[in-house]
A and B are shown apart, each in its own frame.
Chain A
Amino acid sequence: MDGVRVGNRLVGTQSPVTIGWENIPRVEGGPVKQFIFTYFQPAVLFALILFWYYAPNSIAKASTAIGIGIAFKLLLLALEWVNPRYASWRLTWKELVTDLFYVGLGYTVLGLVENHIGADVVIEAVRNSYDWEKFAWFTSMPLLVQAFLILFIFDFGQYWMHRGMHNFYPLWLTHSVHHYITQLNINKGAVGNPIELLLIGIGIGGFFDFLPRAALLAGAMGMSIGIYQHINVRFNTPAWWRFLFNTTEHHSLHHSQDFEATRSNYAANFIFIDRIFGTCIDGEAELLGMEGGRRMSIREQMLFPFTEGWKTTKERLGRSRRAKGQFAEQDTVPAE
């Protein structure tokens, strides 16, 4: 494969990718379908912002956010069924069971671990070690600015954590499992080794004091932007949205079987962070995964970082021993 030159990179030499918005297929169908799949994403985002901005205090609660989140996910699952981006990504019973297992872990034991030894404890410790009341000015800013900053600071931290995972082997071991997924759908964001899921939860946004309504707004914005990363729906996403936010197109490229393509589009919500640091590539891919698209079982997903880490350590130790052996042999060669 020849690949496509993007800046200094040659993308798509190992697996097919589509580069450039002009080459991405558009939604097929009548004007109503075109309209819905063009304006759905911004309409939901603005509707949710308006809702959380004006909802009375009796409704503006976390439980309402959870309810809306579940209803929204069900709607998106229906959209995936009606207008899939790729038939090869269609949800099957087995995929759904696997995905929901990870979603369930997130809602139960991972939450428990996070409360006691994970991100929540780290955040609490940092908050207690410094007089964060000095940051009280944060709560006096306009609600939407607070919400944007909460999300942006979290995304900025996550960008570097994610980029670190693609560049530092011990972190990659935990993240690689997520890259073995061979198709995208809205629950795939939850699939990965639990250790990675704990690491990615650490974000500096949690350190600030903010108004509860701002946090709810940030949550709603994050949900109605971030969820499209893993969705299997063909949208005619508006150009301004694609410029600012991460889309399923960007993220499919990040999950491509092509190595160079995976080293792009790291931000969870704001793709402009990638644009600033030169890691954004606009495009998409259908063939996803690692090792030519080998699907991993749940058992292997749980053990992979440990088994793979052990294998690599053994190889390196073996190599260094062999190398030492060679030196020793060389040393003992009589100097004649």
Chain B
Amino acid sequence: MGDVPALRDAPARSAKSGLNLRFIDWIWNIRGSVPLAPGQSSDEAFSRLDPLFDQPGTTYERTGDALSFAKKDQAAQDKMSIFDVGVLQVEQSADGPVLRYRMASRALLFCFLAPFLFLAFGQLIVAVGMMTAPATEAAEKDKKDEKKEVVRKLNPIDEFLGAPAPEKPKKDDKSEKKDDKHSPTAAYVFAALFAALYVVGRLLEDRLIKNVFRRSLQTP
């Protein structure tokens, strides 16, 4: 067990810097609560959750009814692999004791920001394309002058087997040819992909971890 950054201090820290993170920290924080089994003490609850924290790269600390943890270089199959720090607390509610948790994930934040990164890559590709366009066009023209268009033939074996013969190069096509090397389409596709992955991950991981906690606490 080592030093664990206390997440409970986070609101105070953000207040100090004049920035209220509460409105946006749902992006990388997952909060929730799971009811404890009837008559379950906090000691019993945390001992049931122990296997989740006995993982490589995980440190945790118990103080009274709360447990705070930090994870580094989480294994791929660690059930809490997306979380880096967090606090779990047993509280009394009207319906009995509940486990409340708040856990932060760099992976969620990364996935949330990734679409912006790929949009920027798209813009960069367009910008480089615009900067290099005149030079490339000139080079292409030179090449065209140098090379005589040769109509290539298939090997007789391929002709016999019926493979389609190569087409004659179309001269008009080349001038209208799009600059495929500087197309931002792939970057935009990945931006959309990461946006969709963020939505899926934010909902899925929220549900998965709730199920893991519920199963650990309530399975007899």
Residues of A within 8 A of B (CB): 53-57, 60, 88-90, 92-98, 100-101, 104, 107-109, 111-112, 115-116, 139-143, 182-183, 211-213, 293-298
**B2 CB–A CB distance under 8 Å:** no
Contacts of A115 in B (CB 8 A): 181
Contacts of A140 in B (CB 8 A): 153, 155
Contacts of A116 in B (CB 8 A): 128, 132
Q: Are B107 and A108 in contact (CB under 8 A)?
A: no
Least distance between B171 CB and chain A CB atoms (Å):
17
Which of B17-25, B39-47, B85-93, B160-168 is the interface stretch? B160-168
Pick the 9 closest A-B CB pairs, nearest first: A104-B190, A107-B186, A108-B121, A142-B155, A108-B187, A142-B157, A93-B201, A94-B107, A94-B82
Least distance between B209 CB and chain A CB atoms (Å):
11
Q: Name the CB-closest residue of B to A62.
A: B180
For chain B, the bracket of interface size reads 35 or more
Contacts of B106 in A (CB 8 A): 297
A112 touches which one: B57, B125, B201 (CB < 8 A)?
A: B125
A211 to B75, CA, bound (A): 46
**B133 CB–A CB distance under 8 Å:** no
A57 touches which one: B74, B164, B190 (CB < 8 A)?
A: B164
Q: Are A92 and B155 in contact (CB under 8 A)?
A: no
**B204 CB–A CB distance under 8 Å:** yes
Assuming A94-B81, A101-B110, A211-B154, what are 4 further A-B pairs, CB within 8 angstroms?
A92-B81, A97-B194, A101-B114, A109-B125
Least distance between B146 CB and chain A CB atoms (Å):
10
- Most chain B CB neighbours (cut-off 10 Å) among A141, A143, A182, A295: A295
Contacts of B122 in A (CB 8 A): 108
Q: Are B118 and A295 in contact (CB under 8 A)?
A: no
A251 to B197, CA, bound (A): 29
Q: Are A100 and B190 in contact (CB under 8 A)?
A: yes
Q: Are A93 and B205 in contact (CB under 8 A)?
A: yes
**B158 CB–A CB distance under 8 Å:** yes
Contacts of A57 in B (CB 8 A): 164, 166-167
A182 to B81, CA, bound (A): 13
**B94 CB–A CB distance under 8 Å:** no
Contact of A139 with B204 at beta-carbon distance under 8 Å, contacts A53-B163, A94-B81 already known: no
Q: Are B158 and A143 in contact (CB under 8 A)?
A: yes
**B15 CB–A CB distance under 8 Å:** no
Q: Are A296 and B125 in contact (CB under 8 A)?
A: no
Contact of A182 with B153 at beta-carbon distance under 8 Å, contacts A93-B201, A108-B118, A108-B186 already known: no
